[in-house]
Amino acid sequence: MAKKAVASLQTGAKRLTKAIKMVKSDKSGGYTFVESVMDPAKVQDFLSKK
């Protein structure tokens, strides 16, 4: 079961979003978390990428 979390961060005039997704590792078969801080318009591209 994959979960995703998105938190909004505001720094001055810029608005940033921290996106976290679970990615399955090919080597071990376990899951790892990938975190990234980005522009809110790019969140859907980040979450849909493998």
Host domain of residue 16? 4-48
pLDDT, averaged across the chain: 82
Beta strands in the chain, from DSSP E residues, in sequence order: 4-11, 14-24, 31-38
Burial class, 21, CB count within 10 angstroms (exposed 0-12 / middle 13-18 / buried 19+): buried
Three-state DSSP at 13 gives: coil
Q: Is the pTM of this model over 0.85?
A: no
Output the pLDDT for position 8: 66
The structural domain count of the chain equals: 1
Q: Does the pLDDT value for residue 1 go beyond 70? A: no
Rounded to the nearest 5°, which phi and psi values hold at 2? -95, 140
- The Cα 30–Cα 24 span in angstroms is 6
